[in-house]
Structure 1
Amino acid sequence: MARFTYRIDRYFSDTEDWGIENDDARGTENYDGTAKEYAKEIAQNRYADLLSLDQTGEWRILVWDGDTESDEDDIDALHLFTVTEEDLKPRGGRPKIGNIVSVAMGDTLPKVDAYAQENDIKRAEAIRTLVTVGLAPTENLVWSVVRGESPDANAVEPGVAGIDIPEAISAWAASHGLNEADPDVYLLVTPEDEAGEVQGEIAYTTLTASRADADLVREALLIEQAQTCTADEKTG
């Protein structure tokens, strides 16, 4: 069991800068997992809250190992996510999550939290249970089977992003030469709107994923790009 400190920041367009969302947007907790997993769970819970409140915007979760919030340069995990107007739209003719919560629980988060506490579940799970339908937004990811180095590819390995490889992708990749006996062949993944030429690409396919997984891939891309820029500056 580890102990982490977190902070939830929102991007404020008027100042074009990040700032803590409110006084309740920070805390310290024990957690059975990694800092990255903890940041992802906080993001998922906050995302569900924002859907229920019909709020749009950009947020980030910063996590530090231990009891103390430190500088942003010293974070142990970072998770970025957005809520758009598209996310708030009904899916398949169903009412928005906020409307369902309003009917089921009076549209008050304290009642949602009471239900979560009573049933010993997370807030996001409580909302999912109450709405009884899956309304999580999705996004297309492009998967590539690659042989050899591809340093200019705007894509990352799924393990680096911290996402699981879907069974359908595993089977598809195996049919295109991915196997443990050939370490030169591997998988890369990227959001569809970020996809481009991949050196050494054997085959590619597109599969719908959760927005949470897509955000993890985008986060990993940003980190790799930052590391590449830092390395270029040192050698330049």
Structure 2
Amino acid sequence: MWFARLSRIAASTQPMWLDAASYSSYAPYFVSPVFKRDQQNEMFELEEAQKLAHVPIKAAKNDDTSSVFHDELTRKFTNYIMKGGQKALARGLLEKAFENIKRIQIERYCKASEADKEKIEMNPQKILHEAIENSRPLLELTPIKRGGTRYQVPVPVTDKKSYFLAMKWLLTAAREKERTVHLPEKLAWELLDAAANQGRVIKKKQDLHRQCEANRAYAHYRWS
């Protein structure tokens, strides 16, 4: 009896904002908004847009946009560069890095022969995509304890974590270089090296894969 009374007293004295914060602002039947033009075109081609005609839709986030100049991977990379909420500074650093990449590629294009000019990529955003794709690890080592011994077991990496590790490694490699060189210049060279499948980040990924290959005998501990 006394426990039930205490529970009713605690529920009556609980602040109202705590109840509101513990629930989502949208019901489970609300649908996420589709703001990308290519996704909208696919929905109209598959005739799925008519199904959403009378379904409640969540409000779009502040950074969601249908602009053709918006790139989701660039936005994420900008957020990883940002420190202390200074997003304008992070965006400016990435734009300067893109400018340095453009200058380097133009210089290479002018010095290259006619046959090699077609192989030189001039778009910094595509170079960023190539660098991140080349830096993504496929496997990682996770410690698993079996019989009092801790083994380093290779496990596959999810897509979300592989993108995170690739961008983290690129930024760490750029920040660990000489202090006298500014971050945009260091980041530009790291992106160019990773896009060409060379550099410290690619070596780090290959070393991780070699360690996973060396510990493949312990792979069965993942399911045991």
The TM tier, using the shorter chain, reads under 0.3
Q: Output the TM-score relative to the length of structure 2.
A: 0.24
Structure with greater proportional strand content = 1
Q: Output the TM-score relative to the length of structure 1.
A: 0.23
